Amino acid sequence: MRGSQLLDLGLYLLIYSFLGWCTEVLYYAVTRRKFCNRGFLTLPFLTSYGVAFDLMILALPALAGRYWLQFLFTLAAVSVLERFADQLNRQLGPKVDWGGERSRMLGGSLRGLISSAIVAAICYIVYLLVHPLLLGVMAFVPEVFKLTAVWGLFALMAADFVGVLYTLRTGGVQAYERREEASSEGKIAGKMTAAVWNRLQSAYPGIREMAPEEQEAYPFAKGICLDKLVWVFLTSALLGDIIETFWCGLVNGRWMSRSSVLYGPFSFVWGLGAVVLTISLQRLVHRDSFFVFAAGFFIGGAYEYMCSVFTELLFGTVFWDYSHMPLNIGGRTNVLFCFFWGVLAVFWTKIIYPRMSRFIEAVPALAGKVMTWVVVFLMVCNGLLTSAAMLRYSTRAVQPQPANAFEEFIDRQYGDAYMERRWPNMIVTGQAV
């Protein structure tokens, strides 16, 4: 990537961070009938929006014409970054309770999912309608102005970040004490710190300083949370791929890759299946095993069916076909495998997950957070690259000539021979949306 492109991305980050701040300020002005300086920083920037748009600017052109895939990427980017900001706030302010401020989609509620979908839809519409105009304007902006604006504003943001971090580290009560001291002695530092704390109280109405015994209330991956689900997904994807590879080798007498991605032995079907079972069956842990079996039978069967439909619609490919088996449902699942899902649900709920959960929660908080986000980043990159390779594989027969440099790269690195060797059972239907 050239220096000019990096400079443009920096300017886009600033612009969309400001537009995101304006949007949330307007929303809270309408709903709460008062001005509220939203966000972590005192300056008018919500950087999670800026980073999300930078990711969209980099990724969405490779998905041109596939609007649903572009929207899903936008939804994932907005939600993950929102969750990351939530976790970052907790780590930066260990003495502070943020008053129930949680990320929308990944907070775990249907209302949160709808809220995140709305935010993602707004971002996507802005990308489609506003960004082309911004591209035209940027072509006339002198490079020296871009350079000055980016470096100057990033320096101010860094100073702002340090000031807010200092206030969070010292806590709310101390900030108020400094305000009282500042009013009598005229100390500038105390006044500035108090002003920052007052602004944070406006942006996060429930924020407060936690008592010492509360400051250890955030162990790593406690309960059903994103951190734990990431490791449930990764572990299950790895073990599922190994189990399925050996099973197919023994039954069919042929060893082949059962991985869902280009790099690594990871089966996303198994990983996501474990996440689905964890979320859907968490309330059934104390119920009778037969009840858990029945729930797993139907949930697992429906999940496998939807996975088959999703991959065919999205990529125009079919990874499994049970049409030759009795009691199959459209060749996408069958009663025998639904039975296996039921048995797996019992073992997972009663035996496997409780032990895995305790093991994950024993990881030190800081190391766990760092490793979690490294894993998320690598798996997202792996998944996006795999999606691009599959999409190109399904369209290469109709459009053999690459349309851009990215497709040239995909054709060179992941040609038909590579894809057929990686997934020998994959069938191209040509029905991708």
> Residue 412 to residues 402, 415, 418: CA-CA distances in angstroms?
10, 6, 10
Q: Measuring CA to CA, which residue among 166, 118, 18, 65 is closest to residue 407?
A: 65
Residue 177 scores a pLDDT above 70: no
Q: Measuring CA to CA, which residue among 109, 106, 105, 127 is closest to residue 49?
A: 127
Residue 211 scores a pLDDT above 90: no
Q: What's the average model confidence in pLDDT over 390-399? A: 79
Instruction: Name the more confident of 101 and 137.
Output: 137
What is the token pair recorded at 374? 């490294």
Q: Are strands 427-428 and 328-329 parallel, antiparallel or unpaired?
A: unpaired
293, 270 Cβ separation under 8 angstroms: no
CB neighbourhood size of 21 (10 A):
21
pLDDT cut 90: percent of the chain above it:
5
Q: What's the average model confidence in pLDDT over 115-126? A: 87
Band of pLDDT at residue 125, cut at 50, 70 and 90: very high
Tens digit of each residue's pLDDT (9 = 90 or more) over 251-309: 666 666 678 888 888 888 888 888 888 887 877 777 788 888 888 888 888 878 877 77
**SS3 state at 333:** strand
Tens digit of each residue's pLDDT (9 = 90 or more) over 370-379: 788 888 888 8
| Cα–Cα dist 209/225, whole Å | 24
Residue 367 burial by Cβ neighbours in a 10 Å radius (0-12, 13-18, 19+): exposed
Band of pLDDT at residue 141, cut at 50, 70 and 90: confident
| Beta pairing partners, 173 | none
**SS3 state at 95:** coil
> Residue 98 to residues 78, 205, 413: CA-CA distances in angstroms?
20, 8, 47
Q: What is the pLDDT of residue 277?
A: 82
Instruction: Name the more confident of 172 and 345.
Output: 345
What is the token pair recorded at 192? 């500035």
Which sequence spans correspond to the domains of the chain?
Answer: 3-214, 226-428
Q: What's the average model confidence in pLDDT over 185-200? A: 66
Report the range out of 145-159, 217-231, 238-252 with the highest average pLDDT: 145-159
Instruction: Name the more confident of 91 and 295.
Output: 295
Q: What is the pLDDT of residue 14?
A: 92
| Beta pairing partners, 209 | 96
Band of pLDDT at residue 209, cut at 50, 70 and 90: low
Instruction: Name the more confident of 96 and 50.
Output: 50
For residue 169, the number of C-alpha atoms closer than 13 Å in the C-beta half-sphere is 7
Band of pLDDT at residue 108, cut at 50, 70 and 90: very low
At 343, give phi and psi (nearest 5°): -60, -45
Residue 217 scores a pLDDT above 60: no
Q: Measuring CA to CA, which residue among 98, 92, 97, 100 is closest to residue 169?
A: 92
Q: What is the pLDDT of residue 104?
A: 44
What is the token pair recorded at 399? 């459009």
Residue 105 scores a pLDDT above 50: no
417, 296 Cβ separation under 8 angstroms: no
Residue type, 323: S
Residue 385 scores a pLDDT above 90: no
pTM for this prediction: 0.54
Expressed in percent and rounded to 5, the helix, strand and coil fractions of the chain are 70, 5, 25
What is the token pair recorded at 392? 């190109």
**SS3 state at 317:** strand
| Cα–Cα dist 320/337, whole Å | 12
